Chains A and B, each alone.
Chain A
Amino acid sequence: MFLQTLVTGLSIGGIYSLMAVGYSLIFSILSFSNFAHGAVIMLGAYMGMALATKANLGLGLVVAGSVVGAGILSVCNERVAYAVLRRRRAPSLYLMISAMGCSMFLENMVYATIGARFYSFPEFFKRQVIQVGGSSLSLLDLFAFIISMSAIAALHIFITRTKTGIAIRAGVNDMTMCSLMGVNTDRLISIVFFLAGAFAGVAGVFLGIKYLVYPTMGWVTNKAYIAAVIGGLGSLPGAMIGGIILGVLETLVSTYVSSIMRDVFSFSVLIALLICLPNGLLGADTEEKV
């Protein structure tokens, strides 16, 4: 029972991590909360579902399609709604408002065009379980966890080992200096948004498979925000750890205490954390950003 709960928690935590990493990535480079991230996740899930049901693609292609789709959407979002403000050096409040506007627009456009219906993905895993030491583990949960962790590991390698990754880290440190060194910052920011969108796409597909696809599903990102705060806003390893911690704790609470208390619990964690550790687990060490 405990092992089973732990694996479920890890898989949810993995999805939270994916969302939190995308959110943290944008936060670290533009230092504003991208409230449109949830809408990108939601549209990623819709794209994945369209590919799965209309084109009958397998899971690999569905994920790939929604990664590219959500990535492009995220870049367009930046170009339309944030680029002008960014160049004008507008206060981050304006960027947040603009992001909120995008989120409202995208979410309600889905309501108005596709409708409020709940959709479910075709079953990729046919509820397969494997027996380990008397407890049955869902294959989907294990798979979701492994995919999330590998995606985050790939991002880590990209950011630490490639030239573009170095440019991103430099941009996080000092955007002006980075641009003086000959980095095309517009392109750099587009890459960051593409990466964040790609992670949102993966998260969206797995959320859709695990639960359902509907217009307000993006509001799970609240949890990603909390996860990012647990790990320290702007820190990528922090976002990953925060996501996993939150996912596991939440699942434990809903299994052993009450599922109603789950959201109240996540929020209380946030408040407790803001009182005791306002910079999060890894946020204090600014040198470790990204």
Chain B
Amino acid sequence: MDYYLNIVLLAFINMIAVLGVAVFTGFTGLFSLGHAAFIGIGAYTSGALTYHWNVPFILAILAGMAAAGLSSLVIGVPTLRAKLRSDYFAIAILGFGEALRVCFENLSITNGARGLSLDELSGPVWVSGALVICVFLTRNLLKSRFGTMFMSIREDPVAAEMAGINLFRTRLLSLVVSAMLCGVSGALLAHRLAFIQPVMFTLTQSTQLLASVIAGGMGSVSGPIIISFVFTSLPEALRWLDMWRLPAYGLLLVVIMIYRPQGLMGYREITDLFRRKAQ
């Protein structure tokens, strides 16, 4: 039972990060190859706080969230302000993630490449509580004026700007929100696995997050969440296929782009389906 509980909790933690990428890539239409870096920042900030200074867990999570949000400004302000193509952002954040890993590996506060052993603080209550709060807040944000602005930028940046939307500020907001969600996910992950290491936050993880969002549907909250649950739990069921999991994800991305670019849910939510049935 513990084993299944563990998988479900890891899937929940992953969902929070996927939610973050969904806000940025799914709703705002910018491509990110480095969100694992924000998870890493959240994990290391909260981990260092509880490890070195015995900070209460809730404060450590909030600090992880804030650190991820602030670090996203470092990368977001120069790249997004230039109002250039999103390629620049994708490349810059790729480099950001790599550079950050080098820092994690060489700082004494992170204990270098040997990793940091932590206490297992994030129990079922913490994880599911955080997930519910994150989903609720994200959904409200996306239903608000800001959500509409995000989507209009995704559909047509030029038209959105003509309609009076400040591209830079709106994109930056979306980035900060998504980085904060990843930070929370990282803080929970660090205290769930009770061990963190720089190699855990690499491009492989970023691409898995991205794959979940694209397969789930760009412009849907529930789609990516469902897919991320499948992506986290399926490998556990199909251990013997582990080798072929990543090639399959890659192929899946290509196939989805060619045959069903809107993903599993498209622009709809799971609740829309039930609503239609009720009518």
Q: Are B31 and A219 in contact (CB under 8 A)?
A: no
- Convert A230-273 into 0s and 1s, putting 1 for each residue whose CB lies closer than 8 angstroms to a CB of B: 00010000000000000000000000000011011011101100
Partner of A108, one of B88, B96, B99, B247: B247
**Which A residues lie within 8 Å of B243 (CB)?**
111-112
**Which A residues lie within 8 Å of B247 (CB)?**
104-105, 108-109, 112
- Convert A80-96 into 0s and 1s, putting 1 for each residue whose CB lies closer than 8 angstroms to a CB of B: 11001100001011111
Chain A interface residue count, CB cutoff 8 Å, equals 47
Question: Which of the 9-residue segments A5-13, A45-53, A221-229 touches chain B?
Answer: A221-229
Q: Is A275 an interface residue (CB 8 A)?
A: yes
Task: Give the CA-CA distance A235 to B70 in the complex, in Å.
Answer: 34
Q: Are A266 and B95 in contact (CB under 8 A)?
A: yes
Q: How far is the CB of A78 from chain B (nearest CB, A)?
A: 12
Task: Give the CA-CA distance A145 to B87 in the complex, in Å.
Answer: 28
Task: Give the CA-CA distance A229 to B90 in the complex, in Å.
Answer: 12
Partner of A96, one of B75, B87, B102: B87
Q: Are B258 and A93 in contact (CB under 8 A)?
A: no
Q: Is B246 an interface residue (CB 8 A)?
A: yes
Task: Give the CA-CA distance A66 to B91 in the complex, in Å.
Answer: 27
Q: Are A33 and B249 in contact (CB under 8 A)?
A: no
Task: Give the CA-CA distance A102 to B85 in the complex, in Å.
Answer: 21
**Which B residues lie within 8 Å of A166 (CB)?**
none
**Which A residues lie within 8 Å of B111 (CB)?**
none
Tell me the interface secondary structure of chain A in the complex.
helix
**Which A residues lie within 8 Å of B94 (CB)?**
222, 225
Chain B, residue nearest A95 (CB):
B257
Q: Are B250 and A108 in contact (CB under 8 A)?
A: yes
Q: With A85-B258, A97-B253, A104-B247 known to touch, is A219 a contact of B102 (CB < 8 Å)?
A: no
Q: With A97-B253, A222-B95, A274-B79 known to touch, is A104 a contact of B246 (CB < 8 Å)?
A: yes
Q: Is A106 an interface residue (CB 8 A)?
A: yes
Q: Is B33 an interface residue (CB 8 A)?
A: yes
Q: Are B98 and A100 in contact (CB under 8 A)?
A: no
Q: Is B86 an interface residue (CB 8 A)?
A: yes
Q: Is A101 an interface residue (CB 8 A)?
A: yes
Q: With A105-B250, A108-B247 known to touch, is A270 a contact of B102 (CB < 8 Å)?
A: no
Interface centre among A35, A96, A108, A109 (most CB of B within 10 A): A108
Q: Are A274 and B78 in contact (CB under 8 A)?
A: yes
Q: Is A160 an interface residue (CB 8 A)?
A: no
Q: Are A271 and B253 in contact (CB under 8 A)?
A: no
Q: Is A74 an interface residue (CB 8 A)?
A: no
Task: Give the CA-CA distance A31 to B82 in the complex, in Å.
Answer: 17
Q: Are B106 and A94 in contact (CB under 8 A)?
A: no
Q: With A111-B243, A274-B78, A274-B88 known to touch, is A267 a contact of B250 (CB < 8 Å)?
A: no
**Which A residues lie within 8 Å of B84 (CB)?**
274, 278
Q: Are B78 and A80 in contact (CB under 8 A)?
A: no
**Which B residues lie within 8 Å of A104 (CB)?**
207, 211, 246-247, 249-250, 253
**Which B residues lie within 8 Å of A85 (CB)?**
257-258
Partner of B250, one of A84, A92, A103: A103
Interface centre among A81, A97, A111 (most CB of B within 10 A): A97
Closest 6 CB pairs of A and B: A101-B253, A105-B250, A104-B250, A108-B246, A267-B95, A278-B82
Known pairs A103-B250, A104-B249, A105-B254. 7 more at Cβ < 8 A? Answer: A27-B87, A97-B31, A112-B247, A225-B91, A226-B95, A274-B84, A274-B88
Task: Give 20 A-B contacts (CB < 8 Å), ordered by A residue.
Answer: A80-B254, A81-B258, A92-B85, A100-B250, A101-B211, A101-B249, A101-B250, A102-B254, A104-B247, A106-B250, A107-B246, A222-B91, A229-B91, A233-B88, A263-B95, A264-B99, A264-B102, A267-B96, A271-B75, A278-B88
